Amino acid sequence: MKTFLSIVLTLASVASLARAQNSNCIWIPDVGTGTVTLLGMDGTVRGVFAVGGAPRGAAVDAAGNAWISRLTERGVVRIAADGSRIDTFTAGITSKTCAIDRDGNVWITNQSLDLITKMTPAGIVLGDFPTGDGPRVVAIDRNNDVWLTCKFSGEVLKYDSLGNPYFRTQVGLGPRGIAIAEDGTAWVANLDSSTVSHLSAAGILLGDYPVPASPGGIAVDRRGNIWIASGLADVVTILRPDGTVLRSILTMPLGGHGALNVAPDGDGNMWVVCKLSSTVLKFNLDGRLERRTDLNTLSRPEPFGDLTGALRAKFANPSDDEDGDGLTNEIELGQGTNPFLAIDPSVREGLVRRPEPGTIRALRVSRRSGLHHDQRSAVRNRNQRDSNSAQRAEPQVGRPLQLPRIPPRSRNAANHHAHCAGDARVSDRHPQPHDCDDPGVHPRCRGAGGPWARDHERDHDRRTLRTG
């Protein structure tokens, strides 16, 4: 009996380890080639998978599968962790991003229809919910609520897990990336106004902060600092939680051009995808470059979302122990051990019982609160931040937001780029699938400050709808 039990436990740990190793990686969709590249944490390519349809959004579920949303094809794609299987589910259209909630459901933006779709892991659509104009990037918070940026209407919306809206708040121009912070607030990158907005959990605007031109990707690191990738300026800015600049990193000297998305990994490192140079940069929390990977076979990687699963593990599944090493995802992400890599049991014993100076910090559990030291510190810090946020937010309550209005659309939108007539996504002028977010493709749209770009992209979406 004992032997049988030990065999079962061994098999379980092997399965857990296999899953963990497959989870501990980063997925890079590429619009230009219609592929998704799987990178190990050392930057080596583990696989390249053809999915078609200008893939843009990526999310990773608890089993290590990648979910990919596509801009120019109906349906999202699920790729098995080892690449052995690719499934397509009928949900989502002209979709930029997707995210996975606590129950494993997938939330998918539908830009052309101004909807967000909730789909079960088995591919059953549970509902389509109205959004603002141009739903773009979706994120799940610790309450299993769903946050969404809407690029054309300049809004952020939040829904409960059933799709009921809590609020819609006007932020800057062209909001794209959105990142949830530890304290439940959200940070939003406004591409067209080159600002970052900070919102309370209730949707109150806490602050707007200028950043270098064309901020698209945004993520909050383990220390609570906010990383923003500004594509036109080729700068990664790190803000402190109070919105002051901690560090600016020029990406061009590091070989990265067109910095777009930022995503944390299980170790707490921050990955920046640069679409114009097809380069992936890995930084440590101090902003030092750890690794650069040149993906020369790609032509336009511009992903959004939780490329490693670390955000899902942190916010949607904090109390799970995905690698089976006895430490929850939340504890591991908080202290810097990896929730996708099982640590050796003897090391774990040392962590809990025999803290060694200079090693990974011990988990000192309070008998009174039942929380370990990091959790108690986090609670104290969160209470302090809530207090500060409430003080900062107070003057904003009941007052109109002092933000520039979004210009009305051009009446000539349908005709303003005659060279894109026909198949808007691929033309003589633009041999690759494209949209107007790309400053290199449509400098005139970008230079015009937004309205042309919005019209143009919407026109693309209409054409996509007709032809897709």
Residues contributing to the site for Ca ion (CB under 5 A)? 321, 323, 325, 327, 332, 337-338, 341, 343
Beta-ladder partners of 66: 60, 79
On whether the CB atoms of residues 90 and 74 are closer than 8 A, the answer is yes
Q: Fill in the amino acid letter for 290.
A: E
Nearer to Ca ion (CB atom), residue 147 or residue 315: 315
Provide, rounded to whole angstroms, the least separation between the CB of residue 339 and Ca ion: 5
Least distance to Ca ion, CB of residue 342, Å: 5
Least distance in angstroms from the C-beta of 210 to Ca ion:
38
Q: Is residue 301 a contact partner of residue 31, using CB atoms and an 8 Å limit?
A: yes
CB of 312 to Ca ion, least distance (A): 14
Q: How many CA atoms lie within 13 A of 75 on its CB side?
A: 13
Q: Any idea how long the chain is?
A: 468
Residues whose CB falls within 8 Å of the CB of residue 44, separated by 6 or more in sequence, listed in order: 293
Q: Which is nearer to Ca ion, 35 or 338 (CB)?
A: 338
Cβ 60 to Ca ion, closest distance in Å? 16
**Single-letter amino acid, residue 277:** S
Of 344 and 428, which CB lies nearer to Ca ion in the complex structure?
344
Round to the nearest angstrom and report the end-to-end CA distance of the chain. Answer: 58
CA-to-CA distance for 277 and 368, rounded, in angstroms? Answer: 53
Residue in the structure block whose two tokens are 């700068």: 235
Alpha-helix runs per DSSP H in 213-371: 310-311, 329-335, 345-353
Compare residues 208 and 325 and give the one whose CB is closer to Ca ion: 325
Compare residues 327 and 424 and give the one whose CB is closer to Ca ion. 327
Q: Report the nearest approach of Ca ion to the CB of residue 320 (Å).
A: 8
Q: How far is the CB of 281 from Ca ion (least distance, A)?
A: 24
Q: What share of the chain is helix, strand, coil (3-state, %, to 5)?
A: 20, 30, 45
Cα–Cα dist 265/281, whole Å: 12
- Minimum Å gap between C-beta 412 and Ca ion is 56
By beta-carbon proximity to Ca ion, the closer residue of 25 and 229 is: 25
CA distance 435 to 454: 10
Give yes or no for a contact between 434 and 392, defined as CB atoms under 8 angstroms apart.
no
Spatial neighbors of 141 by CB under 8 A, at least 6 apart, are 147, 180, 184, 186, 201, 315
Judged by CB, which is closer to Ca ion: 345, or 449?
345
Q: Which is nearer to Ca ion, 235 or 310 (CB)?
A: 310
Nearest distance from C-beta of residue 341 to Ca ion, angstroms: 5
* Torsion angles phi and psi, residue 210, rounded to 5: -70, 145
Q: Give 318 or 433: the residue with its C-beta nearer to Ca ion.
A: 318
Q: To the nearest whole angstrom, how small is the minimum distance from the Cβ of residue 241 to Ca ion?
A: 26
Return the C-alpha torsion angle 381, 382, 388, 394, nearest 10. Answer: 180
**Nearer CB in complex with Ca ion: 182/330:** 330
Least spacing, CB of residue 334 vs Ca ion, in Å = 12
CB closer to Ca ion out of 238 and 341: 341
Q: For residues 290 and 282, is the Cβ–Cβ distance under 8 A?
A: yes
Q: Which residues of 435-468 are buried (b: 16+ CB within 10 A; e: fewer)?
A: bbbbbeebeebbebebbbbbbbbbbbbebbeeeb
Contact 58, 323 (CB under 8 A): no
Q: Please, what is the minimum distance in Å from the beta carbon of residue 265 to Ca ion? A: 13
Our CB check for Ca ion shows the closer of 133 and 321 to be 321
Are the C-beta atoms of residues 96 and 113 closer than 8 Å to each other?
A: no
